[in-house]
Amino acid sequence: MTSTPKRVAIPKNGVDYRGKLVLAPMVRSGECPSRLLALKYGADLVWGPETVDKSMIGTTRRENAATKTVDFTRLSSNGTKNPALNPDQRESVIYRLHPGKEGRTHIFQIGTSNADTAVQAAKLIAPDVAGIDVNAGCPKPFSTTGGMGAALLKTPDTLCSILKSLVSEVGVPNEIGISVKIRILETAEQTEALVRKLVATGITGLTVHCRTTPMRPRERAIRDQLKMVADICRDAGVACVMNGDVMSREEALGLIAEYGCDGAMIATAAETNPSVFRTKAEGGKAPWEEVVKEYVKTSIEVENRWGNTKFLLGQMIPGKNDAYKAMTQAKSYAQLVKGLKYGDDLLKMAQDVDKVLEIGEHEKPKMTKAQRKAANKAAVSQDQPTNEVAKKATAGVKRTAEMAQLDMPLDVAREAGPGSVQGSASVLAA
C-alpha cells in the first residue's frame, strides 16, 4: 500500500497552493487592475505587492461603492501635519482590493522585521484575503537595512518568530493560511537548514525564488536546490511554489513536473502581458493591443492611480509603436483613451474618473514654495501646535524617516520605501 502524503490542513477561509499558477508579488506591477487582469487570463491566485506593516497600521478600511473595492486609507499629510493648511486634503489609498473579483484568490504580502507590527498590520486585512505571505526575499538595500526582505534570511529565528505569531494570532482566528517567500542561500546545506525551520512554524505554503540575494532578475535562475526544497516541504506537508524565469503556463507545468514542486509563480512575463497564464487551448498569449485595452478599461473601473497605470502601460506597449508615444504624452485617462482611439463609451468613463482623481483638466493648482511657507507661518501663529511632530512639520522642518513612513502618499511611499523602484525600472518585491 502507498502512504498518503502528509499535508498541513488548509484553513476554512484559506487556499491550497498545490496545482496553482500564480501572479508574483511585484512592486507597482501588482496593483489591483494588474491582479484582476491576471485572473481574467487564467491565474489561479494573485499576490499583492509587498506592503510594509507600518504603512498599514493606522489605516481605515473603507468600502468604495463606486469601484466596488475595499480601500485601506489614511489622510496624507503631504509634508505637513496641520490640516488647517489644506482642509480639503484627500486620503491616500495604501492598499486596494476587489472582493467581488479577487475573492479568495488574493494573497497579501507583508514586509516586516517584527512579529508585533506584523500581527497588527495583518489583522487589519486578514478578513479580506485568502492568506498572508511574509516577504523574506527582497534584496534591495532599502528593505534589507530595515531588517526586512532578504535580511530575514540571515536572522532565521526572527523570521520563524514572525511566522509563528502570524499563524497563531492571525491565521488561526481568521482561518486563513500563512506563507513565506524566500530566496535560496549560497549552499544547499544552508538552504536546507533554513527551510526545515520554516516548515515547522505552522505555515501552509513556501515559495522559493531560485536566485540568491545578490542576484538580479537579468541573471538566470538557479534550480539545482529546487528539488531538495520541494522534497522538504512535501515531507512536512507544506505546499512548495517555485519562482524565477517562468515565462508561460506550459513552461510552469513542465517545471513543476520536473522538480516536484506544487505550483509556480510568474513575474516579469506577466507584467508585460498577463495573458501568459492562458492555456494554448484558450488561445495562449494574446496580442498586446487586446491586453492593453483590457488593462486600461480595468484601471478606469477601479479608479487606479494614474501614475501607476501609466507605468504599467510603459511595460506593456512596445516602445516603437505609435501607441507608446500617445500613452507617454497623455496626462489623464481621457487623454489616454483619445490617444489610443478607444471610443466614446470608455471616454465618458475616463472623464468621470479624471474628475474623481483630479487629474488632467481637473487637476487643482499646486501651492508654490512661497505660498506654502506663508501658510506654514500663518498656521503656527494661529494654532501654536503642542505636538512635537506637528511643530516640526508646520515649521517647515523635514520629517524623520520614521515620521514619513507612517503617512506618506502611496506614490511616494512605494518609490522611496522597501520594495520600491526608481523611475520606470521594474523590480520584484521578493
Residues 271-290 have pLDDT tens digits of: 999 999 999 999 999 999 99
Structural domain range at position 358: 290-362
pLDDT average, residue stretch 330-349 = 96
Q: What is the pLDDT of residue 408?
A: 34
Q: Tens digits of per-residue pLDDT, 122-175?
A: 999 999 999 999 999 989 887 787 899 999 999 999 999 999 999 999 999 999
CB atoms within 10 A of CB 89: 13
Last residue of a domain, one of 312, 339, 362: 362
Give the pTM: 0.84
**Would you say residue 204 lies in a domain?**
yes
Annotated catalytic residue 138: yes
Residue 371 has pLDDT above 80, yes or no: no
Same domain flag for 334 and 268? no
Do 249 and 339 reside in the same domain of the chain? Answer: no
In this structure, the number of other CB atoms found within 10 A of the CB of residue 120 comes to: 18
Q: Is residue 150 part of a domain?
A: yes
141 within some domain: yes
User: Would 387 be classed as within a structural domain?
Assistant: no
> What percent of the chain shows pLDDT beyond 90?
75
Residue 96 is inside which H or E element, if any? strand 91-97
- 233 and 315 both lie in a single domain: no
Look up cell 489610443; give the residue. 340
CATH number assigned to the domain comprising residue 42 = 3.20.20.70
Is residue 251 located within the same domain as residue 358?
A: no
One domain for residues 47 and 152: yes
- Whether 48 is covered by a domain: the verdict is yes
Does 421 reside within a domain?
no
Looking at every residue in the chain, the average pLDDT score rounds to: 87
Q: Are both 192 and 213 inside the same structural domain?
A: yes
Statement to judge: residues 175 and 297 lie in one domain: no
Q: Is the domain of 250 the same as that of 303?
A: no
Instruction: Single out the residue in 309, 340, 362 at which a domain terminates.
Output: 362
pLDDT score of 2: 52
Q: Which of 62, 49, 174 is nearest to 119 (CA)?
A: 174
Distances (CA, A) of 285 to 288, 293, 379: 9, 15, 57
* Residue at which a domain ends, from 219, 251, 277: 277
- 194 in a domain, yes or no? yes
Residue range 203-230, pLDDT digits in tens: 999 999 999 999 988 899 999 999 999 9
Whether residue 197 lies inside any domain: the answer is yes
Same domain, 43 and 154: yes
What is the per-residue pLDDT for 282? 92
Residues 272 and 301 placed together within one structural domain of the fold? no
Q: Between residues 393 and 37, which one has the greater pLDDT?
A: 37
Q: How confident is the model at residue 396 (pLDDT cuts 50, 70, 90)?
A: very low
Number of domains in the chain: 2
CB 117, CB 54: distance < 8 Å: yes
Question: Residues 44-103: pLDDT tens digits?
Answer: 999 999 999 999 999 999 999 999 999 999 986 554 444 444 555 678 999 999 999 998
* Same domain as 260, residue 195: yes
Catalytic residue among 32, 138, 160, 233: 138
25 lies in the same domain as 165: yes
